[in-house]
A and B are shown apart, each in its own frame.
Chain A
C-alpha cells in the first residue's frame, strides 16, 4: 500500500517522513473511501427505506424517491408504543448504569490500590463474569425470577444486566484508578485520611472521566441488550427498544417500513451520544485488560 519511503526519498528528497507518494496517496484514499462506503451504506439504506410508505417498498427501492414521505415516522410516533418503549429503555438502562457504577467504584479502587488475600481470585471472577455467555445464566435466572415474580419487570432486567455490568465497571474503573498516581493516596494518608476518605475525597473526584466512561458503557450495553430483554419482557408496553423493534417483524407480518422508521428514530440520538464519547470508550475498554 505504501511505496517504500527509502526509494521515494531518493527521488524527492524534500518529502517528509510519513508523507505519501502520489500513487500511495490515491490508493489510500480509494481504499478508505470504499471502506467508508461499506460502513455507511446499510445505515443510509435504512434511512432511505424508512421514507417509503409501503411495507413492500424495500423490494422496489427505485420507486421510493418519487413518493418519499415522513408518514412512517408520524405513524410510529402516534400509533405505536414508541414512547412506552422509550420510557422502558431509559428505566432499564438508567437503572443498570446507576446501580452498576455505584457498586463497582469502591471495588475498582480496592483492587487497584490494595493487595489482600483473595485479590487474584477476585480479579479472575471479575474478568470471567464479564465473559459469561448469556446461555449460562438465562435459564436459572428465568426460573428464579418466575418464583420471585420478577419476570416481565424492569427491575428484573436491571438485575440481570448488572451481572455483566458490575464486573465490567469494576475492571474498567480499576484500570482508570491505576492511572492516578499513588502519590496522591500517600499525601492523603499523611494528612490523616482513612483509605476510604482518600478514595472519597481525593480519588473519586479525579476519576470523573473514568466514571463517565463506565456509566456510558453500562448505559449502551443495557440499551442494546437483546437476549434477556427478549425473553424476560412479555408485555408490549414494557418492551425496551431492542425488543420493540423486533415486534414489527414477526413470522406472519413484516412491516419493514415502520421498522426502518423506528430504527432511525432510535439510532439517531444513540449514535450522536456515541460519537461524543467514543474516544474515551476505546481506551477504557482496552486499558483494563492490558494491565491485568
Chain B
C-alpha cells in the first residue's frame, strides 16, 4: 500500500551498522526526511495556527469564568479589557457533578448516545436494504438511484426547512396522518416528538451516503463467491450472513465510524429544525453552542468546557473503535 521512498531506504543499513551518536542521528534524520518534512509543513503550520492555538486557548478559557460581560470587547471606538478570572477546574466539576449535572450534562449525554446509536443503526439498515435492492438486474435502476440520493444532493440547510414546514402543526404530514385517522402529534413542540422528528430528519438526510457506499461495497464482492455458496446449498440468509456481510466489513467499518462522528457532531439539523426552542431535543454539541452563543449573557467558559468534554468523548470512542477493528483484523 505505502512504500518508503527509495532514497532513504538505501541509507538505512549503513546508519544501523554504526549506531550513531544522538547528534549524528538528528542530522541524519534531518537529511533523510528533509523532503517529507518540507512537504507536510504547510498543513502542520496551518493546523498549528488554526487548530492547535485555539484549542489551547479554548482549554484555558474552560479554566476561567469568561462570559460575554467580562471578555475583551470593542464597543464603538472603546476597547474594554478582559476581566475574567482563573477558577481552575470548577467548570468541569459543575458540569459533571454540580447540582444541575443530572438534569443537564448527563441527561443530554444519554440523549446524545441514544440519538447517535438510533440514527446510525437506521442509516445503516435502511442504506444496506436499499443498496441490496439496487444491486440487482432491474429496470429503472439508474432512475431509482438518482432519486434516492436526492436528500444528500440538496444542501441540508435547505431540506431541514422543508421538513420544518412539513412538520408544522397544520403541515402536510399531520394533514396526511389526520386523513388516515391517526393522531397528529405536535412534532415541533412536544419534547418526545421533537426527538422523534429530529431522528426522522437526520435519517432521511443520512441514508443516501450509506446506501451509495454500501452499494459500492456490494459491487466489489466477487460474484463467484455467491455462485460457490449456492452450489454448496447455502440459503439466501446464509449467503447474506457469510458472503455479503464479511465482504462489506471494510466498507462498513469506515461508514459506521463516519456515521457515528457525523451524527454525534450533527449541528445543522437540530439547530435549524428547532431554532432556539426545544431544550430537550438538544444534543451535547448544540447545547454547547447554545451556552456560548444562544443566550444572554453568553457563557463562553461553560461552552468551551462542553466542547472539551465532547472532544474527549470522541477521542475515547475513536481509539476504542480502532482497537476493536484491529483486533478483528479488519484494518490492513
In angstroms, Cα B39 to Cα A289, docked, is: 21
The answer, yes or no, to whether A251 is at the interface (CB within 8 Å) is yes
When chains A and B are docked, how far (Å) is the Cα of A31 from the Cα of B153?
21
CA distance A112 to B40 in the complex (A): 11
A residues within 8 A CB of B71?
Answer: 143, 146
Instruction: Say yes or no: A140-B265 contact (C-beta < 8 A), given A246-B272, A271-B153.
Output: no
1/0 per residue B297-331: CB within 8 Å of A? 00010011011101100110010001000000001
The yes or no answer to A155 lying at the interface (CB within 8 A) is: no
Assess the B254–A290 pair: CB atoms within 8 A: yes
B156 in contact with A224 (CB, 8 Å) = yes
Do A140 and B304 have beta carbons less than 8 Å apart? Answer: yes
Set B162, B226, B271, B311: member contacting A133, Cβ < 8 A:
B311
Give the CA-CA distance A185 to B55 in the complex, in Å. Answer: 37
Q: Write the A99-142 contact mask toward B (1 if CB under 8 angstroms, else 0).
A: 00011101101111111110100100111110111111111111
Cβ of A267 and Cβ of B51 under 8 Å apart?
no
Collect the chain B residues with CB atoms within 8 Å of residue A199's CB.
Answer: 39
Of all chain B residues, the one with the shortest Cβ separation from A185 is B5
* Interface-central residue, A1, A32, A115, A245, by most chain B CB under 10 Å: A32
Query: Are B159 and A43 neighbours in the complex by a CB distance under 8 Å?
Result: yes
**Binary per-residue interface labels of chain B (47-75) against chain A in the complex, 1 for a CB within 8 Å, 0 otherwise:** 10011011101100100001000011110
Q: Nearest Cβ distance between residue B276 and chain A, in whole angstroms? A: 8
Mark the stretch among B89-97, B177-185, B207-215 that contacts chain A: B207-215
A63, CB-defined interface residue at 8 Å: no
- B166 at the A/B interface (Cβ < 8 Å)? yes
Q: Which B residues are CB-close (under 8 A) to A11? A: none
Q: Spell out A's residues near B (CB within 8 Å).
A: 1-2, 4-6, 17-20, 25, 28-29, 31-33, 35-36, 38-40, 42-43, 45-46, 49, 58-59, 61, 102-104, 106-107, 109-117, 119, 122, 125-129, 131-144, 146-147, 149, 159-160, 162-163, 166-167, 170, 178, 182, 185-186, 189, 194-196, 199, 220, 223-224, 226-227, 230-231, 241-242, 245-246, 249, 251, 256, 259-260, 263, 266-267, 270-271, 274-275, 278, 282-283, 285-286, 289-292
Top 4 A-B pairs ranked by shortest CB distance?
A140-B58, A135-B288, A110-B39, A135-B307
